[in-house]
């Protein structure tokens, strides 16, 4: 008799647990309308960016990542690159990409166009330089602090003719603020650490004697 009651208790507990899981999922998946809208640099001048910014470095030309899929697997793409360039080594590339990420982030915040130019593809550099010039014209300064790198992962890799294309997803913690000419903070919070995900695609011509890679595209995850 007791075994029968224990069996019923187990069923009741399982039903309650399932109900709680469904409730939790519905709450976590709900958009309240108060979430911060990420800056969309692909929107034209004057386009609405929401009522506030999200304390993330607004890298020029950085748009949402769509649902595009690379050809084949990441491992297959890396193999193609290694066949075209025997010096390519994924772990070494990740280390170099992380160094480039830190350098580009710092140079953009400090307005160092000379540092950025050899690291960026032509159109990307023009976007960055234009944003720096606009910031200078407004007599504003940006301060960015990279608190930590949470992860650096190769998420896409392929060959496009003789060009090797490698996409890296950076997850980092940053603090970013903007000050006016009087040194007053007009955007951001020096005490707020933001979790940031950036998706960067690097390119190198495997037939070139230049071993350096250039940043071709900057994106953020599609949050629509």
> What is the percentage of the chain residues whose pLDDT exceeds 90?
66
Establish how many alpha carbons lie within 13 A of residue 6's alpha carbon, considering only the half-sphere containing its beta carbon. 3
Domain membership flag for residue 22: no
Q: What is the CATH number of the domain that holds 184?
A: 3.10.450.240
Q: What is the pLDDT of residues 122-139, one digit of tens each?
A: 999 999 999 999 999 999
Q: How many CB atoms lie within 10 A of CB 213?
A: 19
Token pair 């609405």: residue: 48
Given a cut of 50, is residue 56 above it in pLDDT?
no
DSSP symbol at 71? S
Q: Which pLDDT score is estimated for 222?
A: 75
Residue 43 lies in a domain: no
Structure confidence by residue, pLDDT tens digits, 170-188: 999 999 999 999 999 999 9
Quick: pLDDT tens for 72-102: 699 999 999 999 999 999 999 999 999 999 9
**Of the listed ranges 3-7, 52-56, 113-117, 143-147, the one predicted with least confidence:** 52-56
**206 falls within a domain:** yes
- Closest by CA position to 223, among listed 67, 64, 69: 64
Give the mean pLDDT of the chain: 77
DSSP label of 193:
P
Full-prediction pTM beyond 0.75? no
CA distance 44 to 52: 17
CA distance linking residue 93 with residue 97, whole number of Å: 6
Domain that holds residue 199: 58-221
Is residue 5 scored above 80 in pLDDT? no
Digit-coded pLDDT (tens) for 106-116: 999 999 999 99
Q: What's residue 71's pLDDT?
A: 46
Structural domains in the chain (count): 1
């Amino acid at each position: 008799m007791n075994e029968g009651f224990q069996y019923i208790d187990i069923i009741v507990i399982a039903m309650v647990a399932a109900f709680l899981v469904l409730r939790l999922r519905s709450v976590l998946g709900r958009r309240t309308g108060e979430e911060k809208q990420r800056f969309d640099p692909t929107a034209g001048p004057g386009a609405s960016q929401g009522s506030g910014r999200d304390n993330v470095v607004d890298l020029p030309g950085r748009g949402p990542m769509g649902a595009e899929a690379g050809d084949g697997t990441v491992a297959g793409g890396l193999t193609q690159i290694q066949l075209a360039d025997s010096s390519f080594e994924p772990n070494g590339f990740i280390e170099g990409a992380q160094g480039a990420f830190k350098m580009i982030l710092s140079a953009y915040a400090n307005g160092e166009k000379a540092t950025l130019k050899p690291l960026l593809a032509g159109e990307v550099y023009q976007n960055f330089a234009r944003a720096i010039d606009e910031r200078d014209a407004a007599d504003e300064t940006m301060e960015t602090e990279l608190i930590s790198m949470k992860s650096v992962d190769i998420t896409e890799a392929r060959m496009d003719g003789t060009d090797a294309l490698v996409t890296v997803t950076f997850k980092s913690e940053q603090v970013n603020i903007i000050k006016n000419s009087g040194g007053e903070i007009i955007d951001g919070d020096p005490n707020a650490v933001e979790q940031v995900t950036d998706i960067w695609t690097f390119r190198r011509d495997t037939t070139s004697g230049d071993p350096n890679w250039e940043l071709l595209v900057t994106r953020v995850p599609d949050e629509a």
